[in-house]
Structure 1
Amino acid sequence: MKSIYILAFLFCFSSCKNYVDIATPDGLQDWATVFSTDGSATAAVLDIYSYYDNTTFPTFNYMGAISADELFTTTAAYTEFLNNNVAIASTTNATSLWSTHYIAIRKCNLAIEGIRLSKGMSAAVKDQLSGEASFMRAALFFNMINLYGKVPVPLAVVEAENSGLARAELEDVWSRIFTDLQTAKSLLKPEYPSAERARVNKYAASALLARAYLYQKEWAKAETEATSVIGSNVYGLDNPAVVFKKNSKETILQCYSQAGRSPLAAFFVASGPTVTPRYYFRTGFDLAFEKNGAGADDLRKTNWTGKNNAGIYYVNKYKIMSGSGDEYTVLFRLAEQYLIRAEARAQQDKLNGTGSAEQDLNAIRGRAGLNAKLGLGKAAMLLAIEQERKVELFAEYPHRWFDLKRNAGFSDPSKSRADEVLAPVKGSFWQSTDVLFPVPAPQIRVNPALTQNPGYTN
């Protein structure tokens, strides 16, 4: 009973510093108790996954979608993201995105160190849990660097040692991400530690490594990691109608839900034919979906979008809004790995034939019922891959938002792709500096070592 109480105390979402102050003898004793057995340590690490199942991850998803060119919103509180005019003041939305990530990072730090020092855990469970916590910390820092650019990298378990940290250089943040992911990959097994692919395994680590290498333009490494996932034969491209079901063979990692429904459905799906959901497609997004040679719609449009009586299209990947269902929020899936490999291969001029970008691109297009694209040159291939990512990964993670930010422009490589695409869409609201969110003003007041991003005034 004591260990359960301590576990809840240490890993609750609390602003009280006592729960992380392990410098005192009592704190150290309590902290050691949490990681004294396989069972209590597992419970502590599983609590980190709550990041994906509360409001934080859904908010992260739709903030990215409206910051890009995917969705509109009927929610007034989020128009600052829609208009790329995020306030630095202590608005709940801007501040919570930063703080909830660092609360989860704090949990990872505690878990990694607690597992390392544990005398009572089995070696196998120590490896698994340390791998999971390392993966989660990398994923959280990956989010933060893509949202804010330079960010603090707190790693200490004693809170005082983390206070006053300045924003780390980008290369240092990326180094931490890759170190954690390589650690996770070395510790985790190919087999899942539980049913339903709801906990991290070795292939999930490779999937995030592939994504991270792609963002860092390490093309050969991105191709290698994506190939390890695709070639594992553990996963397969599934019928679009069942991709977001909890038993889909395409899923690499998903978020368990006791009710069998994703929280994203409540934000994206129209509850009736006359209802406009809180987040819905920008006008014309439906035109991004092609028809095939026979005139039939892209199966992703058929299965993953809906339309109300007013002709407004909305995201319909997750359909169950209430009651019990069979859907989990998908965090990583195989289609993204094909598109990562396609882009990595195209950047290495592996454009056509066996082992090419063309082959990977057409695997995704074929699953959607579309005709193959053949014989494309490099520029056309990269544009086709960007388009395929747009219609495949919409409203999942901030894929589109991050894609526009990480790539150079096609017509003017001196600009970001975000400038090319979003300036015409957002009009006078768009500024080049909008590719990064502002550091919340309350964080700067608490920690003067933090500096503000360009384009924002404290």
Structure 2
Amino acid sequence: MRNKNKPSLNMLTIGPVKRWLLMGLFAILVTSCDDFVEIDPPNDQLTGVVVFDDATTVNAALIHIYTGLRDQALVNGGLSGISFLLGLYTDELDLYSTTLPDARQFYDNALLPSNNSVQDLWGNGYNLIHATNAIIEGLEGSTALPQDDRDHFLGEAHLLRAFTHLYLTGLFGELPYLETTDYVANSEAEKEEVHSVFSKVIADLERAKTLLPMNAGSEKVRPDRWTASAILARVHLYNGQWEQAWAEAIDIITNGSYSLNTNLEQVFLNDSPETLWQFSVGSTGANTYEGHTFIFTSGPPPTTALSDHLMGAFEEEDARKVQWIASITDGTDTWYHPNKYRLNTNSGTTQEQSIVIRLAELYLIASEAQAHLGNLYEALNYLNPIRERAGLAPLGMMGQSDLLDAIQQERRVELFTEHGHRFFDLKRTERANSELSDTKPNWEARDMQLPLPESEILLNPNLLPQNEGY
């Protein structure tokens, strides 16, 4: 797999796997200002198997992956991340910029297999998968690390591999699940059906749960056992495995050290008790890429603004419409932008970090799972706390179909512009065509998945056939 703007896997895998790690570590130690943790590995140890025999260097290699997720790959908060791109692709965002042709294709639902953003989503994702595979292979061959360190690092790598594959299959459908750094095998890898990808995602996450510590630190910038359980809850929900989704979600809600933040203004601060996992920032006082992407201070918007369709989805009394959305006017027209993250400049002391998973999603997963299982009263017990926090009246008893609709509505206004939840929810519930065909003039059934990048098909014809409609 290769993205034209990134090193190919051929470049990354010539020679021993350690060569890749050495290159990645050198880049981190020389040029990165990352502060996930303080690291200062001795240069004379960055050779051979010592990379995998020293906790400091393995840790630095993992930081390299987290940095890639935060800055470049699928869930980054910038213009190449899915919060922006899928917000345009569905009905959350309107595009105002005239200088972003790739984003325009997303907004117009007119994607081509040559779209650079599509190629980046695929290429950056698979490059990070390759990196996790390199770490897994190296650690499995290491005997010098203390067992606790080895297990912790392996758990993180398995979680990261599952996490990345989960987003890729959500975007592209059938695709290869890569579990090796072998270039020949990867360059000829065939697509797997989505249920097979899900099964391997689940297996990786179950392995991660057995290996990760219960608590990876108060800053929540590294995933722990609860993070693995939260992603498992999401996967089981997507897979229609309601009992398993409920079990994972309720375990976190009941036994985890997390709580819903009753103050909407504080939900997205870096010390929120609601956060399970967030990305560390790149330098002292820095905040989120989402702030740079979505906040604007004068109209018309330079890049994007919230759509009328999303604004109209909020109930009149919903406090999220006030606390999580800001309005900008030029005296004649008014535009709105997400205000979950409120800082787009250095603030001296970091106040906001990009949240990957938060407890509110687990409440909504628990509610939906119970609704599907027919336990409607129990479902309301996990839906209503989200509503009540937003200043809305709790919902009373209703039929199963109406309750499932209410849960999807709540997910829409709770999770907007957070890593493509709207797209994935419409896709898995088979509502995309009915809900987007009226609001998005060019929406077609094919748009349920993105086209496979043409550059990848040229490199690996086993990826054929192209996704239907492209």
Q: Do Structure 1 and Structure 2 share a fold, with TM-score over 0.5?
A: yes
Q: How many residues align?
A: 426
Partner amino acid, structure 2, of 1:287:
G
Counterpart of 2:406 (choices 375, 384, 389) is 384
Counterpart of 2:243 (choices 195, 220, 229) is 220
The equivalent of 1:298 in structure 2 is 318
Q: Secondary structure at the match of 1:395?
A: coil
1:289 aligns with 2:353: no
Q: 1:329 to 1:27 in 2, by over 3 A?
A: closer
Q: 1:171 to 1:26 in 2, by over 3 A?
A: closer
Q: Percent identity?
A: 31
Q: Secondary structure at the match of 1:331?
A: strand
Q: Which runs of 5+ in 2 are unaligned?
A: 1-5, 22-45
The equivalent of 1:312 in structure 2 is 335
1:198-247 Cα deviation digits (max 9, x unpaired): 00000000000000000000000000000111112400000110111000
Q: 1:160 to 1:231 in 2, by over 3 A?
A: same
The equivalent of 2:460 in structure 1 is 447
Q: 1:31 to 1:219 in 2, by over 3 A?
A: farther
The equivalent of 2:49 in structure 1 is 32
Tell me the TM-score normalized by structure 1: 0.89
The equivalent of 1:425 in structure 2 is 439
Shift of 1:375: 0.9
Q: 1:170 to 1:16 in 2, by over 3 A?
A: closer
Counterpart of 1:73 (choices 69, 91, 95) is 95
**Structure 2 Cα separation of the partners of residues 64 and 176 of structure 1:** 25
Q: Secondary structure at the match of 2:49?
A: helix
**Structure 2 Cα separation of the partners of residues 80 and 281 of structure 1:** 18
Q: 1:130 to 1:372 in 2, by over 3 A?
A: same
The equivalent of 1:94 in structure 2 is 118
Counterpart of 1:234 (choices 244, 251, 257) is 257
The 5 Å alignment of 1:87-236 reads 87-89=112-114, 91-192=115-216, 194-236=217-259
Q: Which runs of 5+ in 1 are unaligned?
A: 1-12, 292-296, 408-415
Partner amino acid, structure 1, of 2:110:
N
1:162-190 Cα deviation digits (max 9, x unpaired): 11111112222111100100000111121
Q: Secondary structure at the match of 2:355?
A: strand
1:57-95 Cα deviation digits (max 9, x unpaired): 222221111111111122332111112211112x32121
Q: Secondary structure at the match of 1:359?
A: helix
The equivalent of 1:19 in structure 2 is 12
Shift of 1:308: 0.8
Shift of 1:50: 1.4
Counterpart of 1:351 (choices 376, 380, 398) is 376
Counterpart of 1:246 (choices 266, 270, 274) is 270
Counterpart of 1:49 (choices 61, 66, 72) is 66
Tell me if the contact between 1:21 and 1:158 (Cα under 8 Å) persists in the aligned partners. no
Q: 1:106 to 1:25 in 2, by over 3 A?
A: closer
The equivalent of 1:368 in structure 2 is 390
Shift of 1:275: 4.8
Tell me if the contact between 1:215 and 1:406 (Cα under 8 Å) persists in the aligned partners. yes
**Structure 2 Cα separation of the partners of residues 387 and 24 of structure 1:** 47
